[in-house]
Each structure stands twice: as C-alpha cells, then as structure tokens.
Amino acid sequence: MTQDTITDRLSEAYNPANFRALGHQLIDLLADHLKKAQDPENQQLINYREPEEELKFWQNDFTKAGQEGASLTFFEDILEHSIHLHHPHYIGHQVSVPAPVNALAGMVSDILSNGTGVYEMGMASNALERVVTDFTAQQIGYTTTASGFITSGGTLANLTALLAARAAKAPQQVWTKGHEEKLAIMVSEEAHYCVDRAARILGMGSEGIIKIPVDEQFKIRTELLEGYYQEAIAEGRIPIALIGCAGSTATGSYDNLNTLADFCEQHQLWFHVDGAHGGAVAFSEKYKYLAAGMDRADTIVLDYHKMLMTPALNTALLFKEGHRSYDTFIQRAQYLWETEQSPEWYHSGKRTFECTKLMLSIKVYATLRCHGPGIFSDNVNRLYDQARSFAQILSEAPDFELAVQPEANILNFRYTGIPREEWDIKNGQIRQRLVELGSFYIVQTVINNERWLRATVMNPFTDGQHFQKLLAIIRTI
C-alpha cells in the first residue's frame, strides 16, 4: 500500500450506500420502538439491571467491535438497555419527550458537524439560533432590544448569566483584573443546586450565597429580602444579583417575580430568572400568568429540553438588553474574528463558553417549522393540565398525601396507608421496587426532612388511567 492510499476500513466508514442501507433499517427500528412505547401493554418502560451487570454486558459487546453485520444489533441493544421516555408511564425526571422530527434534525446536525463559534462554520445554525431566540424573547414579552443565544444546558446558562451580572454590577472590571470585594447573590433556598455551584465557581464562596427562606408553597419569602440584604451590607458583602425561580427544583413553584423585580430596581441589582423548567409557560396563554414579571428580568434561562419537546441539552439564555450579552466574554481571538468588542450575533463564540458548539438551534427550529409555533403551547398546556388531574386523583385518595398543590407539572406525594413512623422508609422502598418492576418510573425527593415520591408529567400521552394504575401498583407493593 502506498502512502497516499486510503484504507478499505476508512472507505467503508464513509460509504454513502452503507449509510443509506443502515439508515433505512434504523429508522424502521426507531419507528417500531415509538409505536410500542406508546402502548404500555406491549413494552416495558425500563428493563432494570444492576450497574455491574450492565457494565459486563457492554464490555462483552465491545469484543464484537468491527464484526460485519453487527451495527443494527448494537442499536437494538441500546434500545433494550435504555429507559423509554415515550412510554406514558414515564413520569420521572424533568427531561422532555422529544418530538421524533428532532431525531432527523439531529442526524442532519451530526452529519454536517458545523460548529457555531464563527459564522462561516455555522451559517445556517447561527441564523436559526437568532430566529429561535428572537421568537422565544417575543413570547416572554421582551422588546426588540432583547437578544440571546442557545447553550448546552441550564447549568452553563445560569453560570453565564451570573458572569454577566458580575460584569454589569461588580465595582471593577473583574474580567480583566479579578475582584477583591466580597461579592454575593441572593437566591431562594429552593433554587437549583447549579446556582449555588455557579456562585462558588465565580469565587463568591459559601458566604456569597445568601439563601432566602421559602413559605409553605415553597416560594421565596419576599418580606425577608430587605433584612437579608441589609445584613449582607453590614457584613461587608456586596450583593450584585437576585435570582427568581420560575419553577423551583423540588416542587415547580413560581416565585413572585414582579415583587423580586421591584426589589432589584430599588437596590440596583441584576435580576435573573431561572426559568429552566417553568419558563416554558411563556408559550402558553393559559398558564403564562404563573411567570408574571419574567419580562422584567435582566436575564432568563429557559430549557427547550424540558417541556418544549427537544432532546437534551438545549437551553436559551436571553438578555433583556441584548448588548449586555457581549460584555461577559471580551477576549481576543484573531483567528476567529477581527475585533473582540463588536456585537456580532452571528459569531456565537463571542457570547458563550463554547466555541465548537453543536448545531443546537436546528432541533428547536425543526419542531417549530414542521408543526407550527403553537405546538409548544399545546404541549405545556397538556402537561400542566394532566398534572392538575393527577393532583385531583391524589387528593381524593384516602391513602395518599399531596405535599402541595402543583403550579407546574411536578407533584410530590407519598403513600400513607401504613403506620406514620414507616412513611419515610416505605416510600423509598416503593420507589425502588417500581424501578425494578420496570412498569413505571418516578423519582423521590426530600422536603422538610421527609421523603416524598416525586412525579413530573413529561409525556403528553400520560393521562388519568395511567395515574390510577400507578396508585394501584403502589398499593400492591
């Protein structure tokens, strides 16, 4: 073989005919999977295996690498060994049930592999990102001064938002000089852990995270804000931002965002709303009242991969004043762009941590383009409606207790048909047994030092008959 001869293995890997044949088989396989998943009588939700057993299976599978004709078998095994979110008995974690068109959009994205850091490498995806984020900002109620981008998940988006807050509100140019002041953020004690993590990454430490208690509905107690703020000032800390929850972590409760906005205006704080989960109500005329005041936030995080039918990870970070989004990362990179300070939306690397970012926008756009803008509203309304239906069923069941009436599609409940002293341990055992049986998937959480079962209605095909069946199985367990 001469030095410039391509190997047969490489030729086979890039052969269009091979791709076509396998692709047709895979689409048929996935379509059959979707059909079975929507009929819970014909497919398990999860075939649970212990971690070491699962690892051993795939270690053995890896010994078959490169064998002819093994590709489709590999995909079949992946389906068999994975949890099925399209199954109506999936009411577990806050992960969307993707619209199937997203799988096709993902295939296009993966075959093109266009990074979006610079325009030339992602012409279509950067333009689509602008269209999608402009549309989302409009739904929230922002004006045309708003701008945003898509990034890889709520954790990264929240961190970027707090970096923007620091750039805007810190008393010196911390991006270039660092900071010596004791900066701090104010946040609900029910906020997602990633906010706490972001503050520590920013060097604020545990003292820089001012956690405000919540009320019985798990909303931030706004009457306590002034006291906590003044206490921080007296101790030499400098609060720069206040974070409101549009859907808290454990219960999905919505803070009073208008009151939080008033407080931020009074004290010139950056107002950030973590709407990763519940911000999706912006697309729903029926439920958008829950997030009233969200349009007053300086920044908003909203996950497309929670209630907006998009695969993870896919998150919008929106700025009320779009020019602020360019202040966070001002760096020279002559091989990418000529000037570091010019506001060029089409170079997404100027505003995000990522440079070679995936074509995230194509998946959101595909759903909107193929099914129409109203599809997001339909999905949010359905999930929130069904959560209220489930809450009603729980409220009428004498052997179950609901922690709080849900505002979102998150419900916390527990089985109480046993002695009171056994509630914690038995509900934990119930949840584990459900996973092992594989017919339903829910999770658990701890609220006020007590264990609760936790269900998040994510599948639009989940309805009352499935909720009743879940309670019947719990009683049997």
- According to CATH, the topology of domain 375-476 is Aspartate Aminotransferase, domain 1 (3.90.1150)
Percent of the chain whose predicted confidence (pLDDT) is above 70: 93
| 104-163 per-position pLDDT tens digit | 999 999 999 987 777 888 889 999 999 999 999 999 999 999 999 999 888 889 999 998
pLDDT band at 169 (very low <50, low <70, confident <90, very high): confident
| 278-298 per-position pLDDT tens digit | 999 999 999 999 999 999 999
CB 402 within 8 A of CB 391: yes
Question: CB neighbours (10 Å) of residue 414?
Answer: 26
**Residue 244, CA distances (Å) to 8, 79, 291, 333 in order:** 57, 38, 10, 35
pLDDT band at 330 (very low <50, low <70, confident <90, very high): low
pLDDT band at 332 (very low <50, low <70, confident <90, very high): very low
Encoded tokens for 90: 């999936």
Relative to beta strand 410-415, strand 450-456 is antiparallel
Contacts of 381 (CB under 8 A, 6+ apart): 284, 286, 287
- According to CATH, the topology of domain 108-372 is Aspartate Aminotransferase; domain 2 (3.40.640)
Say if residue 336's pLDDT is above 50: no
Confidence at residue 40, expressed as pLDDT on a 0 to 100 scale: 80
Closest CA to 240 of 267, 219, 221, 266: 267
Percent of the chain whose predicted confidence (pLDDT) is above 90: 70
Asked if the peptide bond before residue 313 counts as cis, ω within 30 degrees of 0, the response is yes
Mean pLDDT of 223-227: 97
Q: What angle do CA 380, 189, 431 make, to 5 degrees?
A: 60
The single-letter DSSP state of residue 116 is: -
- One-letter identity of residue 125: S
The per-residue b/e assignment along 121-149, b for 16 or more CB within 10 angstroms, e otherwise, is bbeebbebbbebbbbbbebbbbeeebbbb
CB 75 within 8 A of CB 81: no
Say if residue 338's pLDDT is above 70: no
**Residue 137, CA distances (Å) to 148, 149, 241, 266, 359 in order:** 8, 10, 21, 25, 20
Q: What is the domain partition of the chain in residue ranges?
A: 108-372, 375-476
| 77-102 per-position pLDDT tens digit | 999 999 999 999 999 999 999 999 99
Query: Is the pTM here over 0.85, yes or no?
Result: yes
Confidence at residue 267, expressed as pLDDT on a 0 to 100 scale: 97
Say if residue 164's pLDDT is above 60: yes
Confidence at residue 92, expressed as pLDDT on a 0 to 100 scale: 94
Encoded tokens for 263: 């407080």
Contacts of 398 (CB under 8 A, 6+ apart): 417
pLDDT band at 346 (very low <50, low <70, confident <90, very high): low
Confidence at residue 341, expressed as pLDDT on a 0 to 100 scale: 52
Confidence at residue 170, expressed as pLDDT on a 0 to 100 scale: 77
Say if residue 476's pLDDT is above 70: yes
CB 95 within 8 A of CB 85: yes
| 42-77 per-position pLDDT tens digit | 778 999 999 999 999 999 999 988 877 667 888 999
| 254-274 per-position pLDDT tens digit | 999 999 999 999 999 999 999
On average, the pLDDT of the chain sits at 90
Confidence at residue 105, expressed as pLDDT on a 0 to 100 scale: 96
pLDDT band at 324 (very low <50, low <70, confident <90, very high): confident
Alpha helices in 63-206 (DSSP H): 71-80, 101-112, 123-140, 154-169, 174-177, 193-201
pLDDT band at 333 (very low <50, low <70, confident <90, very high): very low
DSSP lists the bridge partners of residue 402 as 413
Confidence at residue 335, expressed as pLDDT on a 0 to 100 scale: 39
Name the more confident of 95 and 180: 95
CB 467 within 8 A of CB 391: no
